[in-house]
Amino acid sequence: MLCLTCHRVRPALSRADYTAERASLIVRRGLCACSGPPPRTARPAPLRKHARTAG
């Protein structure tokens, strides 16, 4: 469950990994980030401005 590099909690791979023990470890040690960012956040965030109303 723990990363061998940073000794933090590795990201859960399935819903079965989301246990109370894991949650407690994440609070104490934090999440591992060695595996890199998830593919969903690979694209750069678009520049957002305040929403303007038509008119």
Q: Which amino acid belongs to residue 39? A: P
Distance CA 15, CA 44 (A): 27
CB 2 → Zn ion: shortest distance, Å? 8
CB 9 → Zn ion: shortest distance, Å? 9
In the complex with Zn ion, the residue whose CB is nearer, 23 or 34, is 34
CB 55 → Zn ion: shortest distance, Å? 51
Task: Give the footprint of Zn ion on this chain (CB under 5 A).
Answer: 3, 5-6, 32, 34
Q: What angle do CA 42, 16, 36 make, to 5 degrees?
A: 20
Paired tokens of 36: 């890199």
